[in-house]
Amino acid sequence: MKLLTHNMLTSHVKGVTKGYPLLIKATEVKVNEVEFNPKFVCRMIPKLEWSTLVQAADQLGHREELPGELVPDYEKNGDFLKKVHRVLLEVEVIEGCLQCPESGREFPISKGIPNMLLNEDEA
Amino acid sequence: MSSDPSLLRMSSQGDDVAEQSSNTVEAPTSSSSTETDPTSGTTVTIGATVPTGFEHTAAEEVKEKIGVDAQISKDRGRIYFPITTDKLSQVHLLRSVDNLFVVVAEYDHYQFKESKEETLSELQELASKLPWTNALEVWRLNRTLKKKKGHRKVGNTTKAKSNAEASDVAAAPEAVQHELPEETSAADGDAKAERTPDLETCQQDLDENAPGAKLIKFRVTCNRAGDKHSFSSNEAARDFGGAVQELFQWKADMTKFDIEVLLNIHNKEVVIGIALTEESLHRRNISHFGPTTLRSTLCYGMLRLCKPQASDIILDPMCGTGAIPLEGAIEFSESFYIAGDNNDMAVNRTVNNICHIQKRRADRGSPSGLPIDTVQWDLSNLPIRTSSVDIIITDMPFGKRMGSRKKNWDLYPSCLREMARVCRPDSGKAVLLTQDKKCFAKAISRMGGLWRKLHTVWVNVGGLHAGVYLLKRTTAVFGQTPEDVHESRGRGDSQMKEKDDKEVS
């Protein structure tokens, strides 16, 4: 699971109103090289929940100086964009789980695939 | 074929199209020309089979990547375009093309004789009058290209496909695009794609420089469509083949052949060509099949339809083996793809297919990572933030190969609703493939507040007539239109829902 995906995932357990963001508990993390595309990163940043991304990267020990808040003119900062690229697309959680911040329900991640299926009573 | 004189009239037999003459064999409308430019090579006409319904998309891709205008054949599922031989390898990289062939000659209005005997006899005469030279040159060049590539043996493509298709699918093999009643004379009664992949491994080593030196084996495949012909495709293939054999002294072999001569007859349009692909390119990305894996050319067509932009978040909520998002991640790689399914096997196969491609890229020394992720989820309750997705693209269960008609009745509306929720209002789009057109039409008619139909492409999937629907998300915010308020009230209470349905309709 990449952190870009994590940025969009939310807990949908019945009754939960604050299911985002999910907490990451990783037991295996990999870094996989993905071709860098600055245009992609630039345009993606406004679509993200920035604090969630930073928090998640932190939880995985891959924060690497990402600022807590977006700096102005980040579009022109190549180094910054590269760091964001890495955290969005290259860092992957292979094993672990995602935890709903409200209900505590854990969704397992196995072979990089988060299993978000709910039981009948949770849906 | 539409007649644009500037493009295809490269006849080497003189400019007159002698249709009326009853004694001599008519001159072709066009053929691969004899012009040779020392730098770019000979100019020839390439024919390509593409998924029916996506001819225009394929022509767009040809224009974009090869830089020439393609003609769309009256015989659906085929396009033609001219190239200089230096572009041949690029042609093989086209993503919307299933099979390729080089045109030997093409007749727009072939005048068939009244009787079968006369017609077949004329076909035989035709063989020796055709301008084979350039097409054969291209065939030879093509073989050297393939050898250089170290042609990857995808041994499980066609075999897996034939095993994987559920038994209740119509008998027509997937590669057959034609809608008119037609027959193919292929020895086993199957279309090209069904030829066993073992063929590749048995490929004879040919001396490319002197094709006459080592015995060349060939076969003729005839595709005939139309109801006014006096002959069958088998007869045409047989007689034409006989003449070709006499002409070149090749050996006829239906299964282990070096050259496949194509005789395509669609009403009055006759095209003679030489095949440039042995097996259909259409399953190129998938190494782990599922029961309903969509061919990559169809996936590509669907993706092109929604025009992915840089940083678009693209979801396939019923990804199966991941064919669509994987094709996207490779070919429209400036977007990000999330493939999801509720089924264990499906998500595992998707991940395996992704890994397979990544490994292939790593082996070639390129950065292997792809902009794609896989999640296991329930489509009717997506664990995705509202209004965060730009494009939804998926192959919805047909009810024939997977699921059931009755299930679709409930599934489709809840799918469309949930997809509307996660999709960005106003700019969001959806491209949905389904064979259950009735169910889809009903479901979409109740979603006018959330989805607007932009365009429909009619396609053929595994012999089934299906529709690819391009939808635009309305500006309405989810949770406020009558549809979704109604439905969410009714959820879980079926009696209330029925009452609501009556009120709405």
> pLDDT (tens digit, 9 = 90+) per residue, B206-220?
444 444 457 899 999
- Give the pLDDT confidence of B348-371 residue by residue, as tens digits: 999 999 999 999 999 999 899 999
Three-state DSSP class for A72?
coil
Average the pLDDT over B227-252 and give the result.
92
Chain position carrying tokens 């072999």 = B253
The answer, yes or no, to whether the previous bond of B51 is cis (omega within 30 of 0) is no
> Is A70 part of the contact surface with chain B (CB cutoff 8 Å)?
no
CB B468 within 8 A of CB B457: yes
Least confident of A72-81, B169-178, B337-346, B493-502: B169-178
pLDDT, average across residues B388-406: 76
Which amino acid would we find at residue B462?
G
CB A112 within 8 A of CB A93: yes
A116 to chain B, closest Cα gap in Å: 5
Helix B482-490 and helix B494-504, axial crossing angle in degrees, nearest 10: 150
* φ, ψ at B36 (rounded to 5°): -130, 125
Give dist(CA B314, CA B429) in Å, integer. Answer: 10
CB A11 within 8 Å of CB A75? no
Rg of chain A, C-alpha, whole Å: 15
Q: What letter represents residue B187's amino acid?
A: A
Return mean pLDDT, chain B. Answer: 78
- Whether residue A33 and residue B367 make contact (CB cut-off 8 A), yes or no, is yes
Mutate to test the interface with B, among A16, A117, A120, A122 (most CBs of B within 10 A): A117
A9·B384 Cβ contact <8 A:
yes
Interface of A with B in 32-51 (CB under 8 A): 32-35, 37, 39-40, 42-44, 47
Q: Could you give the 3-state DSSP secondary structure of residue B437?
A: helix
- What whole-number distance in Å separates Cα of residue B375 and Cα of residue B339? 6
Chain A hits for B391, CB-CB cut-off 8 Å, are none
Per-residue 3-state assignment (H helix, E strand, C coil) for B129-144: HCCHHHHHHHHHHHHH
Q: Are B263 and B218 in contact (CB under 8 A)?
A: no
State what percent of residues in chain B have pLDDT above 90. Answer: 53
Angle (nearest 5°) at CA B216 between B214 and B220: 175
Question: What φ, ψ does residue A100 adopt, rounded to 5°?
Answer: -65, 125
The gap between the terminal CA atoms of chain A, to the nearest Å, is: 23
Torsion of CA A73, A74, A79, A84, to 10 degrees: 180
Residue A47: partners with Cβ closer than 8 Å, 6 or more residues away: B311, B313, B388
B313/A8 CB distance under 8 A: yes
**Token digits of residue B119:** 């017609």
Cα atoms in the Cβ-side hemisphere of radius 13 Å centred on A40: 21
And the tokens for A103? 């209900």
> Which residue in B342, B351, B378 is closest to A113 by CB distance?
B351
**Helices and strands, number each (H, E), in chain A:** 4, 4
Highest mean pLDDT among B13-27, B203-217, B329-343, B469-483: B329-343
Give the pLDDT score at B38: 67
Return the amino acid letter for B72.
I
User: Cβ distance B185 to B237 under 8 Å?
Assistant: yes
Contacting residues for A104 by C-beta, under 8 A, at least 6 apart: none
B176: pLDDT strictly greater than 60: no
In 3D, which of B430, B431, B436 has the Cα closest to residue B408? B436
Instruction: Flag if A9 and B368 touch (Cβ within 8 Å).
Output: no
Nearest to B384 by CA among B479, B333, B330, B316: B316
Measured CA to CA in angstroms, residue B189 lies from B164, B221, B234 at distances of: 19, 11, 10
> Quick check: B347 and B335 in contact, CB under 8 A?
no
Q: How many CB atoms lie within 10 A of CB B202?
A: 9
The H helix count followed by the E strand count for chain B is 15, 18
**What is the mean pLDDT of the segment spanning B455-481?**
88
pLDDT class of B317 with cuts at 50, 70, 90: very high
Report the pLDDT value the prediction gives residue B147, as an integer from 0 to 100: 77
**Model pLDDT, residue B309:** 96
List, in sequence order, every residue forming a beta bridge with B468; answer none if it has no partner: B433, B457
pLDDT value, residue B6: 37
By the CB < 8 Å criterion, does B479 face chain A? no
Residue B165 has pLDDT above 60, yes or no: no
Tokens of B457: 């492409």
Average pLDDT value for residue range B297-326: 95
DSSP assignment of B1-39 equals ----HHHH---SS-S----S-SSSPPPPSEE----EETT
Per-residue pLDDT band at B402 (split at 50, 70, 90): low
Residue A115 confidence (pLDDT): 97
Which chain B residue's Cα is nearest to A18? Answer: B385
Query: Is it the case that residue B163 has pLDDT exceeding 70?
Result: no
Q: Tell me the backbone φ, ψ of residue A76, rounded to 5 degrees.
A: -95, -5
A37 secondary structure, DSSP code: -
Q: CA angle, B231 as apex, B230 and B234 as ends, to 5°?
A: 170
Q: How many CB atoms lie within 10 A of CB B402?
A: 17
Cα–Cα distance for residue pair B8/B16, rounded to 1 Å: 14
B491: distance to nearest CA of chain A, Å?
12
Closest-CA distance, B347 to chain A, in angstroms, reads 8
pLDDT in the model for residue B420? 96
Residue with tokens 């390729």: B100
- Could you tell me the pLDDT band of residue B29, with boundaries at 50, 70 and 90? confident
- pLDDT computed for residue B355 by the predictor: 95
Res. B170 pLDDT band, cuts 50 70 90:
very low
Q: What is the pLDDT of residue B360?
A: 93
Long-range contacts of A54-57 (CB under 8 A, 24+ apart): A55/A21, A56/A3, A56/A6, A56/A7, A56/A21, A56/A24, A57/A3, A57/A87, A57/A91
Scored b (16 or more CB within 10 A) or e, B99-137 reads bbbbbbbbbbebebeeeeeebbebbbebbebbbbebbbb
Q: C-alpha angle with apex B74: B71 to B80, nearest 5 degrees? A: 25
First and final CA of chain B: distance in angstroms?
Answer: 46
Average pLDDT over residues B68-91: 90
Joined tokens for residue B263: 């005789």
